Amino acid sequence: MSEQNIFILGIESSCDDTSAAVIQNGTVLSNVVASQKIHEDYGGVVPELASRAHQQNIVPVVHQALEKAKISKHQLNAIAFTRGPGLMGSLLVGTSFAKSLAYGLNIPLIDVNHMQAHILAHFIKDDNSKKPPFPFLALTISGGHTQIVRVDNYFEMAVIGETIDDAVGEAYDKSGKILGLGYPAGPEIDKRAQLGNPKAFTFTKPKVQGLNFSFSGLKTAILYFIQKQTKADANFVKNNLNDICASIQYTIIGILIDKLKLASKTTGIAHIAIGGGVSANSGIRQALKDGEKKFGWHTYVPKFEYTTDNAAMIAIVGYLKYLEGNFAKADVMASARLKL
Ligand code: KG4
Ligand code: ZN
């Protein structure tokens, strides 16, 4: 089989996005994402509703991905799916669908670790951004994850730091809830932060050993601060919203950069790649740019489409595993707590 003809279908259903993508030799032909708006009314992802929505979305999303890629399912060489980590009910939908389709088409099934996919998204070929050389450090920040990973090769990576409680995106979303903002609050806090004074209010940074993170204390500190200030002035939040957002963002970015500095110092690695929905944040992007000048870092940010939850990142891992003949057994099961 010539290399030009490898088509992989990727399927992602670990949280609240149902996604399917087709790639040809590492180049994306389609990447369809159906985001589930229903959770906005609840201020967070409701697992039961997420799996139901995946059930409704998965057939049309896969159909659309094949149609956009202009290929028939009979041209597929393999099907890659997210095995974990994630919400069990959500993972089961993608896993069962991928298994049945691969079985029906009599082609290999490839299981993919979602966290590995966030990192290997940097190697999608149609993205013109520069690729990180090995070894590099990957900072994955989203509503579900906060990890620093040392990446020595496509399949040799080790988590060297992670959150011991909330993810950084949760810190944004929970702070937003306290401030009365909609869900997810990250983008609005970011927008307002750019209009406010980052030093208007001070929130203490958590003291966590080594390269691990903690964000739940910050959320509580913000809650107490807002309760106290509102008692004295009922309009405190309304009158100071941009400054509050800027101060929260300043604290969160400070925590992330402090740990990255420590990770870079202890590993001697200056190549830093970011991924996950929070990598859209203007503050972290600016801080990384500053790090290039201040600390001699080389930083890498993938196209936004490939950095939030999406199936193109699942398909690229599928492609790399396909080249190695690394396939899943027919009895492979979803794993909510799958480790890197
Ligand atoms: O990767 P993602 O789409 O889904 C997962 O959580 O896996 O990330 C969503 C998270 C939410 O918590 C959202 O508030 C946050 O990313 N987010 C941001 C920004 N854009 C999205 N947080 C801060 N600044 C942003 N610009
Ligand atoms: Zn994710």
Kindly give the distance from the C-alpha atom of residue 292 to the centroid of ligand 1, in angstroms, as a whole number.
Answer: 24
Task: Kindly state if the Cβ of 172 falls inside 6 Å of ligand 1.
Answer: yes
Tokens of 233: 């002035």
Take atom 10 of ligand 1 and give the residue whose Cα is closest: 143
Q: CA 313, CA 21: separation in Å to the nearest integer?
A: 9
* Residue 126 confidence (pLDDT): 77
Task: Kindly state if the Cβ of 86 falls inside 6 Å of ligand 1.
Answer: no
Above pLDDT 70, what percent of the chain? Answer: 99
Task: Kindly state if the Cβ of 184 falls inside 6 Å of ligand 1.
Answer: yes
Task: Kindly state if the Cβ of 277 falls inside 6 Å of ligand 1.
Answer: yes
Q: CA 64, CA 31: separation in Å to the nearest integer?
A: 9
Task: Kindly state if the Cβ of 166 falls inside 6 Å of ligand 1.
Answer: no
Closest ligand relative to 171 C-alpha: 1
Locate the ligand 1 atom nearest the alpha carbon of residue 309 and give its number.
1
Task: Kindly state if the Cβ of 309 falls inside 6 Å of ligand 1.
Answer: yes
Q: Residue 174's closest CA among 215, 214, 230?
A: 215
* Residue 129 confidence (pLDDT): 76
* Residue 306 confidence (pLDDT): 94
Residue type, 52: R
- Strands 7-12 and 78-84, sheet pairing: parallel
* In the chain, alpha helices (H): 47-69, 88-105, 114-120, 168-178, 186-193, 216-232, 236-267, 282-295, 312-323
> Which residue numbers in the chain have pLDDT < 50?
1-2
